[in-house]
Amino acid sequence: MATLRDIKGRISGIKSTQQITKAMKMVAAARLRRAQENALNARPYSKKITELLNNLLSIEKNIENDLIKEREFKNIAVIVVTSDRGLCGGFNMNIIRTVEDLLKGEYSDYVSGDNLELYCIGKKGADYFSKRFNKVPGNYSGIFSHLKFDFAAKLIADLKFKFLNHEIDKIVVVYNEFKSVVTQNVRIEQLLPIKPEITTEDNKLDNVEYIYEPDKSAIINSLLPKYLNTQMWKILLESYTAELGARMTAMDMATENAKELIRSLQLTYNKIRQASITTEIIEIVSGANSLKES
Amino acid sequence: MKLLDLEIITPAMKVYEGKVHSVTIPGTVGSFQVLYNHAPILSTFEIGKIIIEDEKEVKHEYATSGGTVEVLNNKILVLAEAIEAKEEIDAERALESLKRAKERIASEKKEEIDLTRAEGSLQRAINRLKIVGHSN
C-alpha cells in the first residue's frame, strides 16, 4: 500500500504537470486567435480569385491550359499536412491514418508500381512516413512557426514544374480543416489538375461587356497559378488554425484530468492519514487500558 | 469630381480600401489610368508601379509584383500577389536581392526553374529601387 509520502509526491507531480498543460492551453489559445485572424484576412483574396476564375471558366469553355486538362494519372503525389509539434490530441494521427488508408486502398496500385510520392509538411508526418515509406522527396518541417505566403508559392512553383513536366499527373492534399475549436475535419482535396466549379446561375461576367486585357484566355492562364497559390496558402492556414484548436482542447482536457486525479488522490491521502490517526489513538487507548488493568 | 471605390487585396490582407480620384495600373498590354465612369475592364498587370490619387488628391505610389484588376460600376478591385507602399520599401533589402539575383543568373549551374525565379526577383528588386528613386 502506498504510504502518505508517496501520495504526497504524486500529488505535487501531477500539480506541476497541470501547470504546464494549463500554460500550454493559454499559449495555444493566444496563438489560435492570431491564426484565426490570419485565416480571416486571407479569405477575401481567395474568395475573389476563385469567383473570378470560375466565372471566366464558365464563359470561356475551350481553354487550353495543362493545369486544368485531365490526363491519365500515371504518377500521383500526396501532400500530407501535419503539425511540427505534438500534444494536440488526435490531430496528426487522424491525418496519418487517412493517408495510410489511401495508400493501402485507393492508391495501392500506385504504391506497388512505385508511382506515388509523398510530400510531408510538418515534422510529425515527415517523421512517420520517412521511416515507413521510401518515396518522400519533399520534407518540410518547422514552417508553421513563421508561416509565410512565400512558402506556399514556392512549394506550388516546384510542384507545378513537376506537374507540367509530366513527372506528376495528379496532386492531392490531405489536411485538417478547422471546423471549430473542438472539431477538425480531415479533408482530401485534389490540387492538380484544377477542377473548376462551373457556375451556371447568374454569371456576372456574362451580362457585362468587359474589356479583356490581353484577352480572356491570357487572364485565365495568369489566374490559374495564383489560384493554386492561394489554395495552398489557405490549406496551410487552415491546418495551423486546426492544430492550435486541437492543442487547446487537448490541453484543456489534460488539465481537467489532472484536476480529477488530484481530487481522488487527495481523498485517498486523507483516508490514509485518518486511518493512521485512528490506529494511533487505538494504540494509545489500549495501552492506557492495559496499564489500568495491571 | 466624382470618386471611385478602390479595394486592394493581397493573400495576406486588405491593403487599401477607400474612395479615390484615379488609379494608374501597370497593365500587361500597357499602363492605364482608371477614372470615374471607366468602362468595365478585366486585366492582368505586371511588375511595376501603381499610383493612387486619393480623395484629397494626394498621390500614393506602390510597388507591385503583378496581379489582376477588375473595374466595374466605378468599383476597382486590385488582386495583387504582393504590394508595398513607397514608404515601406526597404531599399537596402532590394539592393541585396538585386545582387543575389544577378549572381544567381551569372552562376554556372542553371536549372530552368531557378533561372525564372532569379529573373523574377531581379525584376522585382529593380522595380522597388526605381520607385524609391534609388540609382543602382
pLDDT tens by residue, A158-214: 899 899 998 899 999 999 999 888 889 999 999 888 887 766 665 666 667 788 888
Q: Please judge whether A41 and B41 are an interchain contact, meaning their C-beta atoms are less than 8 angstroms apart.
A: no
CA distance B126 to chain A (A): 19
Nearest to A213 among B9, B27, B77 (CB): B27
Question: Which positions in chain B have a beta carbon within 8 angstroms of at least one beta carbon in chain A?
Answer: 9-14, 27-29, 39-44, 67-68, 70, 72, 77, 79, 81, 113, 117
Which residues are registered as beta bridge partners of B47? B65
pLDDT tens readout for residues A191-201: 888 887 766 66
A147 touches chain B (CB under 8 A): no
Q: Please judge whether A157 and B67 are an interchain contact, meaning their C-beta atoms are less than 8 angstroms apart.
A: no
* CB hemisphere CA count around A263 (13 angstroms): 6
From chain B, pick out residues whose CB is under 8 angstroms from the CB of A161. 113
From chain B, pick out residues whose CB is under 8 angstroms from the CB of A45. 9-11, 79
Q: So what's the pLDDT on residue A84?
A: 93
From chain B, pick out residues whose CB is under 8 angstroms from the CB of A214. 28-29, 43-44
Q: So what's the pLDDT on residue A198?
A: 67
| Average pLDDT over chain A, rounded to an integer | 89
The residue of chain A with its CA nearest to that of B42 is A212
Q: Please judge whether A214 and B44 are an interchain contact, meaning their C-beta atoms are less than 8 angstroms apart.
A: yes
pLDDT tens readout for residues B19-32: 999 999 999 888 99
CA distance B87 to chain A (A): 22
Q: Please judge whether A44 and B70 are an interchain contact, meaning their C-beta atoms are less than 8 angstroms apart.
A: no
pLDDT tens readout for residues A270-288: 999 999 999 999 999 999 9
A120 is catalytic: no
- Give the cell for residue A264: 481522488
Q: What is the DSSP letter of A145?
A: G
pLDDT of B136 higher than 60: no
pLDDT tens readout for residues A94-128: 999 999 999 999 998 888 888 899 999 999 999 99
Q: Which amino acid is at A186?
A: V
Classify strands A76-81 and A116-121 as parallel, antiparallel or unpaired.
Answer: parallel
Q: Which amino acid is at A195?
A: K
Report DSSP letters for chain B, one per residue. Answer: ---EEEEEE-SS-EEEEEEEEEEEE-BSS--EEE-TTPPPEEEEEEEEEEEEEETT--EEEEEEEEEEEEEETTEEEEEES-EEEGGG--HHHHHHHHHHHHHHHHSS---HHHHHHHHHHHHHHHHHHHHHT---
The fold of the B4-86 domain, in CATH, is: ATP Synthase; domain 1 (2.60.15)
Q: So what's the pLDDT on residue A71?
A: 84
Nearest to A45 among B27, B41, B79 (CB): B79
CA distance B45 to chain A (A): 9
Nearest to B28 among A157, A209, A213 (CB): A213
pLDDT of B135 higher than 80: no
Q: Which amino acid is at A223?
A: L
Nearest to A49 among B29, B39, B79 (CB): B79
Residue A236: pLDDT band with limits 50, 70, 90: very high
| Average pLDDT over chain B, rounded to an integer | 86
Of the listed ranges A13-22, A67-76, A114-123, A242-251, the one predicted with least confidence: A67-76
Q: So what's the pLDDT on residue A82?
A: 94
Q: So what's the pLDDT on residue A221?
A: 86
Q: So what's the pLDDT on residue A200?
A: 60
CATH class, domain A26-249, is alpha beta
Q: Please judge whether B11 and A233 are an interchain contact, meaning their C-beta atoms are less than 8 angstroms apart.
A: yes
Q: So what's the pLDDT on residue A149?
A: 86
Question: Which of these is catalytic: A35, A79, A81, A88?
Answer: A88
pLDDT tens readout for residues B58-95: 999 999 988 999 998 899 999 998 888 888 888 888 88
CA distance B59 to chain A (A): 25
Which residues are registered as beta bridge partners of A77? A117, A171
The residue of chain A with its CA nearest to that of B73 is A208
Q: So what's the pLDDT on residue B116?
A: 76
